[in-house]
């Protein structure tokens, strides 16, 4: 995944919602974390999940071929 990632932290009750968005594609993921955990650790987990999901999406897109190749 090349490009910038936007990370947002939002307190929701007794958890911290961390969202990571790829600035190039707009793909977004979220995780729920402990508000007492270091933000750097939660940010890394969210970015790692975003990379995983984007890699999985790319693999699925490549394996699906529609129409007739000529």
Going from N- to C-terminal start, the domains of the chain cover 5-56
Q: Provide mean pLDDT across the span 15-39.
A: 97
Residue 59 confidence (pLDDT): 86
- Rg (alpha carbons) of the chain, rounded to whole number: 15
Return the pLDDT at 50.
97
pLDDT digits (tens, 9 = 90+) for 36-48: 999 999 999 999 9
How much of the chain is helix, strand and coil, in % rounded to 5? 35, 30, 35
Q: What is the pTM of this model?
A: 0.81
Q: Which two tokens stand for residue 10?
A: 């939002």
Q: What's the pLDDT band for 61 if we cut at 50, 70, 90?
A: confident
């Amino acid at each position: 995944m090349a490009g910038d990632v936007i990370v947002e932290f939002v307190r929701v009750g007794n958890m911290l919602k961390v969202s990571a968005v790829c600035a190039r594609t707009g793909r977004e993921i979220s995780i729920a974390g402990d508000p007492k955990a270091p933000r750097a650790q939660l940010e890394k987990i969210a970015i790692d999940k975003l990379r995983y999901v984007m890699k999985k999406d790319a693999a699925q897109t490549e394996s699906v071929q529609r129409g007739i190749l000529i």
